[in-house]
Amino acid sequence: AVEEEVLLQVEVEVLHQIGIITQGSDCSSGYIRCTLVTCGTPSTQPSTQDGIATQNAFPWQAFLINNNNVGVRNGYAGGGVLLDQYHVLTAAHKVTNLTSVSVSMGVYSTANSGNVQTVQVAQVWIHSNYDQTYLKNDVAVLRLATPFNINNNAMPICLPTSGRSYIGATSSSCIVSGWGQTSFRVDDAPTQSLKQVHVPIVTNDACTNSYSNVLGASNAAAYLDFPNEICAGGQNQLDACTQDGGSPLVCSDTAPTFNLVGLVLWGKDCGQSGRYGVYLNVPSYVSWIQCTIQCIQGQTTCSNCPSRRII
């Protein structure tokens, strides 16, 4: 069995700015561009080392909370990534079994709630063709009840160009972050501190060959879904892991700005040499993300995306 490892009508601007959309009294009429906010450019750059993340280096990192389980491990339900003040992107498998969800931004240490903003999720929309067996089209947009205040602890990520290929991107430019387990067999999520690890993005053939050896060729073909997924990692003890699902994989084309390249989906064990983590390939879903937010705003028919609401 394969284990889990685990805008809005917005254009990514040339100057790495995105339109922040607000509603009602925040804007003069409907949903319009109110302000321009820098995306994907943290106030502090991530460390080049792997392990504990650099504080404020991942201000787009979202901490999902199961409101029906807040007494256990801070209610931790998985990772996500801030798209704008009203919307968070995550993996569908992190939210399909939940009935009430909140999102916290600005979490660095789970033992310290200073500078943390927590907002209730009003709506959850998933891809209409989500396959929970094979985790295909495993993507969800969360619409928040109230907007986040954008600051150094809560900043949206930049979306990549639709269809852009990041295969071959090196570990020096790509980082995955999250609060998932430190080992496949150590149930310690969420970890007290946010963690980071640099990972290279490998070819589809390399990933297919690896999983064919582990799962068998037929299972590998059933689970892997290129080009809607990408694979990264393959280095000993450098990987996302269980309960990192929905967390962002970001890459920097030009420092100091990062683009969202992947979301943690699944893998087999964690941190095994020659075995890769499987991620949603975000460039394949940029149009879906934009369409779904337009759908939430009532600007298009949701079946056009296709998206369906589950909360």
pLDDT of residue 36: 67
Given a cut of 70, whether residue 4 has pLDDT beyond it is no
| Rounded Cα gap, residues 94 and 77, in angstroms | 7
Where are the CATH 2.40.10.10 domain residues in the chain?
59-156+286-297, 174-283
pLDDT of residue 80: 98
Q: Which fold is adopted by the domain 59-156+286-297?
A: Thrombin, subunit H (2.40.10)
pLDDT of residue 102: 98
Strand pairing partners for 281?
262
pLDDT of residue 35: 57
| Count of CA atoms in the C-beta half-sphere (13 A) of 297 | 22
pLDDT in tens, 169-179: 999 999 999 99
Residue 221's H or E segment, with its range, is: helix 217-223
Given a cut of 70, whether residue 14 has pLDDT beyond it is no
Residue of higher predicted confidence among 45 and 28: 45
Given a cut of 50, whether residue 25 has pLDDT beyond it is no
pLDDT of residue 16: 46
Q: Which two tokens stand for residue 169?
A: 């991107």
- CA-based end-to-end distance of the chain: 29
Mean pLDDT of the chain: 87
Mean pLDDT confidence for 52-73: 95
Closest CA to 274 of 239, 241, 303: 239
| Rounded Cα gap, residues 289 and 142, in angstroms | 11
DSSP secondary structure, 191-207, as one string: PSB-EEEE-PEEPHHHH
Given a cut of 50, whether residue 6 has pLDDT beyond it is no
The CATH class of 174-283 is mainly beta
pLDDT in tens, 118-140: 999 999 999 999 999 999 999 99
